[in-house]
């Protein structure tokens, strides 16, 4: 396990966001032409692997202020996200935020910017 993978345990993704490690971009077209890095970075759609997932979309709970005997509890519930760790995600580049962590490049992507998920059930058992 590399140092960057160990440090991902310390990361907490907030809300309806997903941490994605980009796949290495294709440096050639199908016909064999080499693409410069500027063309690869300006793609509208990117793909990568989901590394961490936030708790989901927050929804407020009704208040129980009329019953003072109740202990105060958590005031927010979450609608879980569709993305799971290990999924291959295709997402819109313009909605993603690029971050460097542990010498690796990642994207923080809101769920609404993910266009497609590919899940391999055999990958994680």
Question: In Å, what is the CA distance from 15 to each residue of 19, 52, 53?
Answer: 11, 12, 9
What's the pTM value of the predicted model, to 2 decimals? Answer: 0.74
Q: Is 81 left (phi over 0), alpha (psi -120 to 50) or beta?
A: beta
Q: In sequence order, what are the residues at sequence separation of 6 or more whose Cβ sits closer than 8 angstroms to the Cβ of residue 7?
A: 101, 102
- Locate 37 and state its tokens: 């890095």
Q: What's the pLDDT tens digit per position in 51-107? A: 999 999 988 776 656 666 666 666 778 899 999 999 999 999 899 999 999 889 999
pLDDT computed for residue 68 by the predictor: 67
> Tokens 């990958």 label which residue?
123
Mean pLDDT over residues 14-34, rounded?
Answer: 78
């Amino acid at each position: 396990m590399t140092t960057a993978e160990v440090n991902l345990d310390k990361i907490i993704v907030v809300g309806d966001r997903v941490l994605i490690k980009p796949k290495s971009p294709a440096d050639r077209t199908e016909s064999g032409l080499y693409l410069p890095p500027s063309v690869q970075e300006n793609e509208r759609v990117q793909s990568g692997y989901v590394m961490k997932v936030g708790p989901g979309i927050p929804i407020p709970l009704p208040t129980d202020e009329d019953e003072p005997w109740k202990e105060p509890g958590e005031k927010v519930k979450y609608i879980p996200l569709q993305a799971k760790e290990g999924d291959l995600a295709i997402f819109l580049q313009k909605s993603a935020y690029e971050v460097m962590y542990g010498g690796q490049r990642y994207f923080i992507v809101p769920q609404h910017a993910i266009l497609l998920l590919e899940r391999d059930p055999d990958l994680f058992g």
